[in-house]
Structure 1
């Protein structure tokens, strides 16, 4: 009775077929549920682009961490209270940017896992269909009592032929089932990775909220400490606001501020008073020439963590050629001074939102636009990395930074690459 052992073998394997089909179905449901909980960056449209975003974010995070460590050491070495508070604020701003980079990396990582999970679900669906149909046929065959096999019409050669067919088919079934088990294991691994990535993202978001609160407290303390100490800052703020109201466009405003900065540089470069000589006429008459200061470009870095959206010289949808870099960032992202200098303007300017213009000296100026909150005022000195404000809280905010040298736009990317 050749059919009896075949049915018995099929019966012992039936639980395996049912388990495989059930696991595949549960994996598909798990993938669908996971896809609803995943948060993506909203910018990239492919795994390759998100992998690049992940690498960029990790690099930005390492740079921010290194800056925070340097600023912490600087704060410990500072002897003056004002210098120590300034370094502490800059170090905290660097830590905020590190957390922002970690959030961006986490979002990219979750996007990648989401896409891999969707691809995994598609593969499981492809493999599941044939196995489920075969499982149903084997289950139907296994439920038949062995006695019916003796009564089945057909010759003995038909039974031998069926046994031969099953003997050839079963190894292929086992091979495909092994592949399905591997795919199911991969699905479980992806789900575990997604849970871990979501937990890490939540931890980064909580750390960011705490750091932002600390920085606001430090900024408030510094602002209260500086209040009433000097009226020059108030006068310069009022003057900058008046200039902003009179200027026809942002270019005219920057030209006016650059002219004022040039005058300030000339005044600073004038020689100081000389001591009266012991004998009149023993010293040469001043020639009237001023000292020439270093004319090199300032040390420069991007003011925030994010992805480059528009580069210098690119044409926008409105037909305007970009004179700076536009960077997409997280809502409320921390913005810092790209280089040290003197805040020439800080406030609202029509069409550009809240802006900050920093005079770096020797004809170098930076314009940072589309800020949501400002941390500096006109007349205030800033060092590279000092917090100057935050991005807006819009869904997909972007900040534009422009560097100019004597009224002409300068390619920031080339400067960063040269550095």
Structure 2
């Protein structure tokens, strides 16, 4: 229960960080998310379902690291903007400080003297009374800007250790998750894959459609029908990975190639999970698609996920919603690259791509009809 509460809290912090207008506040919220994920990792060791606990822990780390990247980059940009503003106002600031210093250091009797006598002194006092609040306001604004610059610089200075711990934590969580999946023996099976038949099918097909049509041949016996149905959730399924939509179905890419599925841009080593309870119909290398996982959430519906570096599970296993099915490839960036603002807004931190194709009754359909419009990012 404590593990679930910590992870739930981490995602609440993620929402808060995303909505946070204050860059320093967003970065602090992200740091707390990473601390909570670290606690969750420690508690996952004793969880009854270690695969589920570690899966949620990896997701919590990914959300925390993503929020930390965003918060620190916002902090860096804010600090740079404030510094530029202060530099551009050096003359104004110098004059303001000079006036304040004169008022503060001049002896009171001298301030009361005026060449035109008591009336001029009274007028000067009235003018000073009107100017002083404005001077105070500008002084307070300047002090706030300077304090914010100091805070942002200190936050960025301390961020390296937090990021280092977070990156080490998620790496450990992924390694423990891989081991927990390999050790798992409690998943039900619909069939046992026949490696010889599978190899023959792969060699005899040249397209994804041909392979999908022949999936019924890869078991040692007839693959029974399933009573599972997710028809009521059509259009509401979560995407299998945190990322951004790069290409929609039928949309041509930079090379002019259009595909029947969608392409998501993800961060390196992102965790890919099953969007619904499903049977693993195939997992492994296929054609020129790299590592592929084919899931069957209900009869005559297939979710094809390709482009993974590692794939989990075995063909024939029935897995629950949210179960990990693989990891994306790529190398985790160095801390300097994470903190850099040079690629801000260009998506350069999402260097990996996951292809998702949905097939109904043997024909491809737009995945957007099955998955939510919004994404976790």
If the TM-score is normalised by the length of the shorter chain, which range does it land in? 0.5 to 0.7
**Which residue does 2:315 correspond to in 1?**
378
- 1:16-415 equivalences under 5 Å are 76=48, 87-132=49-94, 176-194=138-156, 200-222=162-184, 233=192, 236-257=194-215, 264=222, 268=224, 297=231, 300-394=237-331, 396-415=351-370
1:236/1:188 CA distance change after superposition, 3 Å: same
TM-score normalised by L of structure 1: 0.57
> Offset at 1:392?
0.5
Q: In structure 1, the residue corresponding to 2:322 is in which secondary structure? A: coil
Per-residue Cα deviation, 1:334-379 (whole angstroms, up to 9, x for no partner): 2222233332222222432111112334101111111111222333
1-structure distance, mates of 2:266, 2:372: 21
- Counterpart-to-counterpart distance in 2, 1:128 and 1:201: 35
Quote the residue 1:38 is aligned against.
Answer: none
Distance 1:293 1:178 in 2: 68
**1:198 Cα deviation (Å)?**
5.2
Q: Do the aligned partners of 2:303 and 2:356 also contact (CA within 8 Å) in 1?
A: yes
Over 3 Å counting, the alpha-carbon distance change for 1:175 and 1:126 in structure 2 is: farther
Quote the Cα distance in structure 2 between the aligned partners of 1:237 and 1:298: 35
Question: TM-score normalized by structure 2?
Answer: 0.63
Distance (Å, rounded) in 2 between the aligned partners of 1:175 and 1:88: 57
CA RMSD of aligned residues (A): 4.8
Distance 1:391 1:236 in 2: 27
Are 2:243 and 2:267, in contact at CA under 8 Å, matched by a contact in 1? yes
Q: Counterpart of 2:263 in 1: which secondary structure?
A: strand
- Output the CA distance in 2 between the equivalents of 1:332 and 1:173: 54
8 Å contact kept, 1:304–1:333: yes
Q: From the superposition, tell whether residues 129 and 202 of structure 1 become closer, same or farther in structure 2 (CA, over 3 Å).
A: farther
Residue ranges of structure 1 left out of the alignment (5+ in a row):
1-46, 77-86, 140-155, 270-291
